[in-house]
Amino acid sequence: MAQRPGAPTALFRFYRAASTALAPLAFALASRKLRRHGVTAARRRERLGHATLSRPSGRLIWFHAASVGESLSVLTLIARMGARLADTEFLITSGTATSARLINERLPPRCRHQFAPLDAPRIVARFLDHWRPDAGIFVESELWPVMLAEAGARGIPLALLNARLSPRSAARWQRHPETARFVLGHFALILTQNRDSAMRLAAMQAPPERLREGSNLKALSAPLPVDHAALDALRAALGPRPHWLASSTHEGEERIVLAAARDLLRSHPDLCLLLMPRHPERGDTVEAQIRAAGFTCARRSRGELPGEAQVYLADTLGETGTFYALCPRVFLGGSLLPIGGHNPFEPAQAGAAIVSGPHVANFAETYGALADCGAARLVRDGDELAQVIGTWLDRPQDLSAAREAAVRFAAARAEELDAVAERLCSALGLDTPRAAP
């Protein structure tokens, strides 16, 4: 049953009017981004609520996520819920072209993707008129006021899953407590990814009887796909050369990683660094940086293999799982600078030993647990990064122990998905047969 969130506030009414007035500009900006990635005109109009697929018959559960990480994190959960609810279909919405491509490559059974409608009244109404979801599940920090209010007005039960808010976002919401209470009051269940987020949402007036601390959903997702033909080719190209992977690096981190690689080459002259930037479109910039630092370089996006190159630039999309399967020593970027870190569960599932910088607020609990069991090491700078990788190169027994701990950690977390599915089904009334329309 849908919740009663209370009366709309003056701030909400202002936002609703402003979203209506700004919708044409918002669509022009969103459409331009999608067009640059080759998205067709028809699919771009999904942002205006115009569906390009028919609604399936029967019960439909709508998942809404922002971009790649959030979208992919729910696919395994959708598969679990699909096995539990055999009569149910699924819709997942997201806003970026990259998320759409990766989602469509990994869609679970009875699931389809659309671009999310912009948060304006007529657009959201058009979307809901077509899809008529029986329940809606929003992921992480997707608090779109019009979308929530329109769904609530139609009696659609809603949940906020893997809820996460930064201190800055929470502080902004706390300045408007009545509006925060109105927005959060639409959720029948708010399942946070950690204790800090639960405390921030409580301070934002989230209904305490519907607020529950949970696990980070990204730490429960299925393993990344592996291209085994590409994996075999890379292994053959590297041969007996030792190698390590720096994955999801950001601007400013490549300089630190390359300095660590230079230190390691003094004691391991045949070592190969596999460098995978978080944003592959930075490939030209990163290659220039590699060559300016005096390294030889081969580049994945040009179809090259590592050969004898000291640095192999893996500037492609969708191959992260293949590189995790290739390399047993993984540094995860977004962590040597105050970015928040990236998902360590993915390399753990591949059986890789993990090293990260200290800035891992987005996955603090996961990194803490990995470090406690010996699967991950946290370092402060490039010197310590080189020391850890060097230890794993020189002491195979230490590397094996870290890899085995990572595998055990990943296996233990996989069972938590069933508990998440059960909570959602109970809170949203999905375990009962769907009433006839």
Helix (H) or strand (E) holding 152: helix 145-153
Comparing CA positions, the residue from 62, 128, 66 lying closest to residue 95 is: 66
Alpha-carbon distance values, 5 to 162, 170, 176, 220, 265 (Å): 21, 19, 15, 31, 61
Strands 272-277 and 353-356: unpaired
Q: 393: how many CB neighbours lie within 10 A of its CB?
A: 18
DSSP bridge partners of 322 = none
Angle between helices 177-184 and 10-36 (to 10 degrees): 60
Active site residue 254: no
CA angle 213, 219, 225 (to 5 degrees): 150
What's the token pair of residue 409?
Answer: 């950690």
Task: Dihedral sign for Cα 364, 100, 28, 32, please.
Answer: positive
What's the token pair of residue 26?
Answer: 């918002």
What's the token pair of residue 5?
Answer: 């969130």
What's the token pair of residue 151?
Answer: 């769904």
Contacts of 113 (CB under 8 A, 6+ apart): 91, 92, 93, 94, 100, 103, 104, 107
What's the token pair of residue 290?
Answer: 């590699």
Alpha-carbon distance values, 42 to 45, 49, 114, 325 (Å): 5, 11, 11, 37
Helix (H) or strand (E) holding 244: strand 243-249
Which of the following is catalytic: 70, 89, 140, 319?
A: 70
Residues carrying an active site annotation: 70
